[in-house]
């Protein structure tokens, strides 16, 4: 197939592109490189520098079989400081893309959503659970889902919507593990941990995540919604201990206090993945394994120069 991947230079998007090309597809990547990196883009993909908000008149989707829409502002915390960035990069960009699909007659969309659409939910959280986001980011993703559902019903588009737990692994450039590593590179003696360290969430390794998305395509309803997450949880304090040990450090942990790491943070998150398991998928790695592998991945990607603090 000829497939468009928005955000294909980003963390998850670049891994999706790699897999789609490995499967023999022709892939075009749209990315504005605000958080993605050109070196992440597969050499066999066609790259187009494209901002789905500013370059709306340049979006051209003729002759595409499907769209994987992963372009978004991935930083949940930025919603408190700049809601407009979340609105533009998530909601406005999704609307512009859907309009381009409608005009070009593209009938298949795969969209990456988030566990934060549920807010503080019953655990484990199934796809049928009410959505009640408490962050601007979660609200924006839920708005995108609503837009996609309306276009599916109005314009006969078929969609697959994936609500992610915390996805981690190679090429990630935000999130708790990335933050901990860079904080310790600046100050090996002390590590600030947002919240009380008891936040308990599910983490899924990138390879498991991509395989889960591909398994979800076996479903063939007009609208297909799936959670993607691991089978367990891990606390933030434990992640800090894993990162510190991998870097050969024993820093003082300094907690900022409170249940939440920031406004809009959901302290406890654990998605049910039973719906996707019925299609034959299951995660290979638990949350702790995913964290350990990601720490190794990110440390290998960092050039430290003369500051050889990693064992």
SS3 272: coil
| Burial 202-231, CB ≥16 within 10 A → b, else e | bbbbbbbbbbbbebbeeeeeeebbbbbbbb
- Of 87, 95, 118, 137, which is the active-site residue? 137
Task: Tell me if 77 sits within 8 A of 98, measured CB to CB.
Answer: no
Residue 307 burial by Cβ neighbours in a 10 Å radius (0-12, 13-18, 19+): exposed
Running DSSP on this structure, what letter comes out for residue 311?
-
180 CA to centre of own chain = 18
Contact call for residues 38 and 47 (beta carbons, < 8 A) = yes
For 1, 2, 137, 211, the CA distances from 20, given in Å and listed in that order, are 9, 10, 27, 11
Q: Which of 57, 132, 109 is nearest to 222 (CA)?
A: 109
Cα distance between the two ends of the chain = 45
Residues 6+ positions from 236 with CB-CB distance below 8 Å: 176, 193, 194, 195, 197, 198, 199, 200, 201, 261
Is there a catalytic annotation at residue 137?
yes
- Residues with catalytic function: 137
């Amino acid at each position: 197939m000829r497939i468009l991947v928005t955000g294909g230079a980003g963390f998850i998007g670049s891994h999706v592109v790699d897999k789609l090309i490995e499967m023999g597809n022709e892939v075009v990547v749209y990315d504005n490189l605000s958080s993605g990196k050109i070196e992440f883009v597969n050499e066999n993909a066609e790259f187009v520098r494209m901002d789905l908000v500013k370059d709306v008149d340049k979006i051209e989707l003729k002759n595409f079989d499907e769209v994987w829409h992963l372009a978004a502002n991935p930083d949940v915390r930025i919603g408190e400081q700049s809601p407009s960035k979340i609105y533009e990069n998530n909601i406005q960009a999704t609307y512009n893309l859907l309009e381009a699909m409608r005009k070009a007659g593209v009938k298949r969309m795969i969209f990456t959503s988030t566990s934060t659409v549920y807010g503080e939910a019953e655990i484990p959280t199934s796809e049928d659970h009410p959505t009640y986001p408490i962050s601007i980011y979660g609200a924006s993703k839920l708005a995108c889902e609503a837009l996609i559902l309306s276009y599916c019903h109005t314009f006969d588009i078929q969609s697959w919507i994936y609500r992610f737990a915390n996805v981690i692994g190679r090429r990630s450039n935000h999130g708790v593990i990335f933050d901990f590593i860079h904080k310790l590179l600046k100050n090996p003696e002390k590590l600030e941990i947002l919240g009380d360290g008891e936040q308990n969430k599910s983490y899924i390794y990138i390879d498991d995540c991509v395989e889960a998305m591909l398994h979800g395509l076996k479903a063939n309803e007009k609208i297909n919604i799936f959670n993607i997450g691991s089978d367990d949880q891990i606390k933030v304090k434990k992640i800090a201990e894993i990162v510190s040990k991998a870097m050969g450090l024993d820093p003082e942990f300094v907690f900022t206090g409170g249940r939440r790491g920031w406004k809009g943070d959901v302290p406890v998150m654990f998605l049910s993945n039973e719906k996707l398991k019925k299609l034959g998928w299951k995660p290979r790695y638990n949350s702790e394994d995913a964290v350990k592998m990601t720490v190794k991945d990110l440390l290998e990607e960092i050039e430290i120069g003369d500051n050889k603090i990693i064992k």
